[in-house]
Structure 1
Amino acid sequence: MADNSQSRTARRKQKKSNKKPIWKKILLITSIVVLALGLGVGVLFAYYIATAPEIDASQLSDPLSSKIYDKDGELFADLGSEQRSQIEFGELPPILIDAVTATEDSRFFTHSGIDLLRIGGAIKANITNGFGSEGASTITQQVVEKSFLSPEKKISLKVQEQWLALKLEREYSKEAIMEMYLNKIHYGNNSYGVAKAAQNYFGKTDLSELTLPEAAILAGLPQRPSAYNPFENPDLTKERMNTVLDLMVRHEKITQEEADEAREVDIPSLLREDRPDSSPYEAFLQQIRDEISKKVDGADIYTDGLKIYTTLDTNAQEYVEFLLSDSEDNPINYPEPVEDENGNPVDVQAGMVLLDTKNGAIRAIGGARGGLENDGHNFAIDGEGRQPGSTFKPIVAYGPAIEHNQLSTYHQINDDGPFDIAGTDSQINNWDGSSRGWMSMRYALSESLNVPAVKTLEENGSGNAKSFAEGLGIEFANDNVTIGDAIGGTGTGVTPLELAGAYRAFGNQGIYNEPYAVTEVEFPDGKTIDLKPKAEAAMSDYTAYMITDMLKTAVEEGTGTAANVSGLPVAGKTGTTNLKDKNGSPDSWFSGYTTNYTLSIWTGYGDSNQRVLPDTKIPHALFKHTMSEISKDIDTPDFVKPDSVVEVEVEKGSRPAKLPSDFTPSSEIVTELFVKGYEPDDTSEKYDQLDPVNNLTAEYDEDSDSIQVEWDYNSDEDVSFEISASEDGGQMNGLSSTEDTSFEISNVEPGAEYEIQVVVVSNEHDSITSEPSSTKVSVPEEQENIPSIDNLEASYNAENNMIDVSWGYNGPPAEFEVDVNGQTQTVGSNGIEITNISPGEYNITITPIGQNGANSDVRGESQSTTINVESDDDNNDEENADNNDEVNVDGEGLGGGNDDNDGNNEDDDAQDPEDQ
């Protein structure tokens, strides 16, 4: 037993001694894996190197020209083929080389083409932040990448870039590589290479004349040529220049004192005064550059030899640039410039974007008044945009409300403003300060009223509004939509490009895609990338159509009539912004569309000061002229109503919407749009009719001098009777309301014919009435005697050499025949003036003559008086006798009548009905 036990123990010890520790196995496995990975990576890297392109000396000297094609495939731009000046290394001043190496590659003159220290830092950053977050490219690598490789961020391309950089360093000197680099880079402002950049920015053709600040600016520009453009953004340029100066101090290229002195420079003072002319299509080219930069990593349209296929309509682009030009033929009447705080003129600026409504392709971009100079600020696409004003109402208020609550275009909103903003002391008023009471959504939108819009947003909810607007490409400044967003009055800004993209979806059955200028990019190696964005449904087709139909009303009869284009079905919306401390608008918008085109336009002042626009109708004019021009000779069909929308006749003023009854007047019926399945079912009873009265009679009662009216009415309804009358075919005037079946009309005019009308009215619903019943009656004429005048007086006024005649009259309406020494004239007043008097005796007779009814032309008894006018100079008797043969009794001689008419004549002059 003991022997067997020892044998088993010995065997266990032997097995244990043969078993390896676990850590050794792990180490062995890890080593095998690392070796395999290393071999695999090595093989893969070897493949990358083997498939790398050869170094072609012809591609090292100049950047490859990128060719850009319009929507029809026609070449319209060849970027990089011009605006280039070559320079040799010996012409490069040391200060420029120091600025460039300190900024881009501080160990350029010592490394072998790749910088292992920079690679280590880049690897750490890429592990931390993701591949491509930081590059380690040396100047040599940048030359290789721009000459031979695609700008995509791939490991294979990075390996090839480093391999070719090592090869390039073996074949070319450092000086030659620096020369290639500085001749190849794009510096903005149509400048290819540092020599052309120095000339275009500073007017210097001899680079040895460059100062330290100028060299620092040139060294910093390639990182972001557009943003650091010193002509347009001198403040950003100075920030970048200071960064370069700091790097030069760090790498001991200059002293701190030299850097501090350079910082004192005023950037505009360095620049040439004669800025280059604007470039045709420059605004569109900027959009191309931005799209490719965003969608194709590292691509440079100025140096990469791309073929770029775009959506540009050159005819539309040229017309847009014409409307923004200073041409004498331009039909747009722009305001005169204003002066800034330094006395410099500041023009009203404009930005506009034209899209194809069907697919979102950008057809034209107007970037600025007078075109874009020096890669200038593009008001159509650049920056955070401007407050959109009321153009946001369809996007934030009414569109989401229809989408989520299936509201109709008739939906009633109470405009009982002002609207109190919860939690604040602020209020929102309508643009004209009015409160119009209950109204339809259609009217509220077409008249651009603020209170209904913010009420609609409040009822629908900010969450629905935010998701709806974001689906149309709108990015809000705050996490939450606020009540002010309904009227575009918050910190959220938009560009014409963004607004056009949102509005296009309304005209395209609710389908949205990001507006785009580039359809496809082809690289020199033949590889292509499709850049057309994906289209998605941003809303229901009923929302798109109902918003469109209301915006058509806004253009046809609302705030947008100045943008209406005769013969085109146009939908659109105006928008202005306000200033807290001033009356007026710093921004004015119009965004509208047809089934073919969508166009959004902004106007305002381009500088940072908030100035009031002298004319807010310029966007309307730009829209009208552009849409008229581009729509010539093409068919523009109307918007098609989808099956999800129904047209329904509704009784005006009903709340909620009700169908009209058989008795609803046509003037009280409106046709509105409803989401199918949400149209009204109930019929209004407002205009249900009662039975009319029977046996209506009217007779004149001579004893009471009145008209007696009687009628019959057999009904159990609780009613009253409204009595109206008209005299001699005139206007029907209400007289009274009674529950009796008779009525007396007193104070009647003799000889007049009266039409009497009786309407039955419900005492429970005064809107429910009967058809009117009517009858006629005549009042006999009554003849009165025409009395004679009284108090006839005549006096001579020697100072004015005239006789003043006056009299009284108390009787029926009459005029007066005046006889002076046998010459007569008829007047309507109670007095005359006889002028041009000569000495002698004047016999004056006045006869009243009846005017109205039975008294017409009846003459009353005449009254006479005599006045003797003596001469002041007896020697003039003979002459006066000659002048006394005839009395002047025309209008001048007898003069006008007195205005002090004590009689019963009435002034029948009509009132001027013109609406002031």
Structure 2
Amino acid sequence: MAEKYQTREERRKQLSNQQKGKKQSKNIFKRILLILVGLGVAGMLVGVAAFAFMVKDAPKLDEKLLKDPISSQLYDLDKKPITEIGSEKRDYVNYEDIPKNVEEAILATEDVRFYKHHGIDFKRLGGAVIANITRGFGAEGASTITQQVVKNSFLTPEKTLSRKAQEAWLAFQLERKYSKEQIFEMYVNKVWLDSGGHGIATGAKVYFGKELDELTLPETALLAGMPQSPANYNPFKHPDRAEKRRNIVLSLMHQHGFITKDEMEKAKAVDVTSTLVPEEHRQNGDIPYDAFIGHVVKEIKEKYPDIDPFSDGLKIYTTLDTSAQEYVEKILNSDEIVKYPDEKLQAGITLLDTTTGQIRALGGGRNQTGDFGFNYATDAKRQPGSTIKPILDYGPAIEHLKWGTYYTLEDKPYTYSTGDKINNWDNKHMGVMSIRTALALSRNIPALQAFQAVGGEKAKQFAINLGIPLKEIHESYSIGGFGGKDKGVSSLEMAGAYSAFGNNGYYTKPYSVIEIVLRDGTKLDMKPETKVVMQDYTAFMITDMLKDVVRSGTGKKANVPGLHLAGKTGTTNYSDEDKKKFNIPRGAVPDAWFVGYTTNYTAAIWTGYDKKYENFLVGDDQKIAQKLFKNIMENVSEGKEKSDFKVPNSVEKVKIEKGTTKLASEFTPENLIVTEYAVKGHAPTEVSEKYHKLPAPIGLHANFEADKNEIVLTWDYDNENSEGIEFEVYASKDNGAEELLTVIPDKTIRLKAENGGTYSFKVIAVRDDLRSDPATTTLRVTAPSDVIEDEDDGQNEGVPDQDNEQDQDEDNIPGNNNGNQGGNGNGNSNGNGQPGQGGNTGGGNQGGNNGNRP
């Protein structure tokens, strides 16, 4: 019984404990629930408070701002107003006049649930929130058409929580105040379409020459797709990109049931360019300096995609030099300064400040029509030809291999690593030469050798650091033969790269905008970072070598007297196959460049034709780029300090024997000694042994034969060194100008004498480029048949000057003549020191060359 009792008692206690545990669990759950509810309420209150705080400064809805974009003001380098952009082009269209297919294209692209939400699409927002959490804030947008209208009308473009909150709040208010149709009308008339101005109706006229209701399906889809990135999808400038974007819109229209699959496919098959207004019929522009201002807009959109310079009411401070820009436009659009072969030839010009990288002027092309058309300075990508050699060949070799400007390469028959032959422009070879000469004369084979020596990857990286965006690297690039993924370079890119050479190795990406001021006063700094991209010795030595290009090389027509100028020419070639296929004349080229700089300015000029297989540069037309450079640089440099490039401490001068990498010796002929530059600590130490000084002639002797009125000049020479020796004979009379009489292998010469006077003679031994010290003597003839005085100056090696101890008065001619002069009769002419007897004239019957006068 006791066991049963204990068991029941235990069971009762256990049951009691279980009931207490359940109550405690319920209490804990209630507490947690209450805490969570409290936190939720608190969070909501905090969220509401935060939202209220963020929207408290939101602007009020303004109907005028909703319908009219706010133009932006542009200022030049001196902060003087240039022009306004944004209010010039806009054809307004009412909602009831918007064609159904236009509305459907926009809805499919921008906001297919537009008529179902109240300003904010929470379903779309959920997906965007997840994307922003997983990929970072701003990774994906969820803006509705309503929000875009609000953003473009009232708000700054930065992606912040505060701005997003204000955007949502104003979108909600906008939906309460206006109908969906009114909001859609606002959007259609506000969107920016680059060259097409503001609004879909304006874009229809500009791009297709049509009214809005005349647009075809592919034309409608193209316009609907442009607002996301107007500059990139401009069909005038980028038809390929525009077509891809149009096809995406067509796919979205089919996906959302607005068009059939067949309609989609037919529309995609239409070539974009076939639908556009022909170039010759495009609207004339009315914006000044549009090549420059168009790049300003592009630069802003690249850095701040959400900013619209045409509707955001900005103050844009640019780098423009209006005087330089006007001159560039004048030289491009008239024959007043440079003569052009025809109206079709095009040119792209970039003018930079060498030190800052600021764009001072852009020449977007010749005879351009319409605002913000194709810009040949920034948009054209052409092969650079030999202008690439400092960037891919000699610059990297100096940077990484520390070559001096004297370093030699051999211009000889040569091949690429593939075995394919490489030629120079003249199909000739010039032998061993310094890299200075090779660059000045634009030899291709030494350039390839330099590229191979430093290696393709290092060359590629060097170019990328200079703003040349190479995707690949091949040996053909070394002479400007780009291909594959690299179609070419722009004038803007080449100017930026060369400016680094002129700026001691510092590179700043060329830029046109210094600062933007938003409507709320926020300032956005647009200046890019300046980077060190090469050693100062590389920059200086490339610069010094490029000076020779304009002084004595291929770029002489670009030289400006009085300017310290460096630069490089470049032309490209047609393949043999293309020459035959298109019947291209001999010597014609598709592109001609000149890129150069001073300490103040850098300019890159490209010239060529759009249809390079129909038109080509021939003869002097290939020099137009140099002529443009010369005139522009001369114009902008007027009144500016014309300082030279400074030699950095990392560089030293060296005297090199021409054609070698060795130091000149004391015997190297002067005309074979060149002053070059070396990286300090890497100058050559080996002295050339090629040359040594030749022995001088000995026993130089002059006699006058009165009966023949001739002077006989004789000398001797060391027979051990006489092979191949010739003698330069110089003479002068009465301290007059010295004259080279002849170069002979003999050791005697006869010369006709004139009446009286003192004759000075000099004889130098020469062989190839070797020379000796001179042997000299003088001879005085007082009258046609009187006394002759022959004096050795003591420089005849091996023959002592044995004058009498007592000097003779110049007027006392008869008497004791010195031993170097043979006297009449018994006088010796071999320098034995015996005085001649009697003697008004020196004796001797040596043969010589008659008829030469001193």
In the superposition, the TM-score normalised over structure 1's length comes to 0.72
CA distance in 2, matches of 1:768, 1:269: 74
Deviation at 1:558, TM superposition (A): 0.4
Deviation at 1:774, TM superposition (A): 8.9
CA distance in 2, matches of 1:767, 1:360: 48
Alignment pair present for 1:140 and 2:125: no
Aligned equivalent of 2:403: 407
Which ranges of structure 1 fall in alignment gaps of 5 or more residues? 338-346, 701-707, 737-742, 778-916
Alignment pair present for 1:63 and 2:69: yes
Instruction: Determine if contact 2:496/2:508 at 8 Å carries over to the other structure.
Output: yes
Cα pair distance change 1:664/1:181, threshold 3 Å? same
Aligned equivalent of 2:725: 722
CA distance in 1, matches of 2:699, 2:200: 105
1:151 to 157, 170, 176: 157
Aligned equivalent of 2:475: 483
Q: Summarize the alignment of residues 286-365 of structure 1 with structure 2, pairs less than 5 Å apart.
A: 286-325=294-333, 327=334, 329-336=335-342, 347-365=344-362
CA distance in 1, matches of 2:494, 2:269: 41
Q: Summarize the alignment of residues 112-151 of structure 1 with structure 2, pairs less than 5 Å apart.
A: 112-151=118-157
Q: Deviations over 1:35-90 (max 9, x none)?
A: 47666555433432334332222311111111111111111121112212323222
CA distance in 1, matches of 2:262, 2:716: 112
Which is greater in Rg?
Answer: 1
Deviation at 1:601, TM superposition (A): 1.2
Partner secondary structure for residue 194 of structure 2: coil
Alignment pair present for 1:627 and 2:633: yes
Alignment pair present for 1:245 and 2:233: no
Deviation at 1:246, TM superposition (A): 3.3
Instruction: Determine if contact 1:551/1:573 at 8 Å carries over to the other structure.
Output: yes
Aligned equivalent of 1:229: 234
Instruction: Determine if contact 1:686/1:768 at 8 Å carries over to the other structure.
Output: no
Alignment pair present for 1:501 and 2:496: yes
Aligned equivalent of 2:806: none
Q: Could you tell me which amino acid in structure 1 is paired with residue 452 of structure 2? A: E
Cα pair distance change 1:32/1:672, threshold 3 Å? farther
Q: Summarize the alignment of residues 68-107 of structure 1 with structure 2, pairs less than 5 Å apart.
A: 68-107=74-113
CA distance in 1, matches of 2:259, 2:29: 57
| Cα-Cα RMSD | 4.1
Q: Could you tell me which amino acid in structure 2 is paired with residue 359 of structure 1? A: T
CA distance in 2, matches of 1:265, 1:459: 50
CA distance in 2, matches of 1:616, 1:542: 32
CA distance in 1, matches of 2:570, 2:242: 34
2:696 to 692, 698, 704: 692
Alignment pair present for 1:467 and 2:461: yes
Deviation at 1:671, TM superposition (A): 1.6
Cα pair distance change 1:41/1:771, threshold 3 Å? same
Aligned equivalent of 2:446: 452
CA distance in 1, matches of 2:231, 2:528: 25
Aligned equivalent of 1:541: 536
Aligned equivalent of 1:397: 393
Number of matched pairs: 731
Aligned equivalent of 1:48: 54
Cα pair distance change 1:106/1:718, threshold 3 Å? same
1:602 to 602, 606, 629: 606
Q: Deviations over 1:180-203 (max 9, x none)?
A: 111211122252122322333344
Instruction: Determine if contact 1:182/1:194 at 8 Å carries over to the other structure.
Output: yes
Report sequence identity in percent.
46
Alignment pair present for 1:673 and 2:673: no
Alignment pair present for 1:388 and 2:384: yes
Cα pair distance change 1:590/1:38, threshold 3 Å? farther
Q: Deviations over 1:386-427 (max 9, x none)?
A: 221111111121112222233221222222x233222x1312
Deviation at 1:514, TM superposition (A): 0.8
Aligned equivalent of 1:825: none
CA distance in 1, matches of 2:497, 2:589: 23
Deviation at 1:284, TM superposition (A): 1.1
Deviation at 1:236, TM superposition (A): 4.6
Instruction: Determine if contact 2:726/2:766 at 8 Å carries over to the other structure.
Output: no
Q: Deviations over 1:13-37 (max 9, x none)?
A: 989969989x999998996998476
1:554 to 544, 549, 552: 549
Q: Could you tell me which amino acid in structure 2 is paired with residue 414 of structure 1? A: E
Q: Summarize the alignment of residues 258-277 of structure 1 with structure 2, pairs less than 5 Å apart.
A: 258-259=263-264, 262=267, 270-272=275-277, 274-277=281-284
CA distance in 2, matches of 1:672, 1:631: 28
Instruction: Determine if contact 2:291/2:375 at 8 Å carries over to the other structure.
Output: yes
Alignment pair present for 1:108 and 2:114: yes
Q: Could you tell me which amino acid in structure 2 is paired with residue 589 of structure 1? A: W
Deviation at 1:594, TM superposition (A): 1.0
Greater relative contact order: 1 or 2 (C-alpha under 8 angstroms, separation 6 or more)? Answer: 2
Deviation at 1:265, TM superposition (A): 5.6
Deviation at 1:670, TM superposition (A): 1.6
Q: Deviations over 1:151-170 (max 9, x none)?
A: 22223322321222111101
CA distance in 2, matches of 1:94, 1:275: 27
Cα pair distance change 1:45/1:446, threshold 3 Å? same
Cα pair distance change 1:767/1:91, threshold 3 Å? closer
CA distance in 1, matches of 2:182, 2:699: 116
Deviation at 1:646, TM superposition (A): 2.7
CA distance in 1, matches of 2:337, 2:51: 64
CA distance in 2, matches of 1:295, 1:649: 50
Instruction: Determine if contact 2:83/2:288 at 8 Å carries over to the other structure.
Output: no
CA distance in 2, matches of 1:570, 1:226: 36
Partner secondary structure for residue 76 of structure 1: strand
Instruction: Determine if contact 2:393/2:447 at 8 Å carries over to the other structure.
Output: yes
Q: Summarize the alignment of residues 638-653 of structure 1 with structure 2, pairs less than 5 Å apart.
A: 638-653=644-659
Instruction: Determine if contact 1:687/1:769 at 8 Å carries over to the other structure.
Output: no
Partner secondary structure for residue 504 of structure 2: coil
Deviation at 1:359, TM superposition (A): 0.6
Instruction: Determine if contact 1:234/1:268 at 8 Å carries over to the other structure.
Output: yes
CA distance in 2, matches of 1:235, 1:323: 32
1:656 to 656, 661, 677: 661
Cα pair distance change 1:336/1:711, threshold 3 Å? closer
Cα pair distance change 1:212/1:469, threshold 3 Å? closer
Partner secondary structure for residue 375 of structure 1: coil
Instruction: Determine if contact 2:386/2:570 at 8 Å carries over to the other structure.
Output: yes
Aligned equivalent of 1:793: none
Q: Summarize the alignment of residues 716-865 of structure 1 with structure 2, pairs less than 5 Å apart.
A: 720=723, 722=725, 732=742, 735=745, 770-771=772-773
CA distance in 1, matches of 2:429, 2:341: 33
Cα pair distance change 1:39/1:608, threshold 3 Å? farther
Moved more, 214-223 or 76-85: 214-223
Alignment pair present for 1:528 and 2:523: yes
Partner secondary structure for residue 725 of structure 2: strand
Instruction: Determine if contact 2:695/2:773 at 8 Å carries over to the other structure.
Output: yes
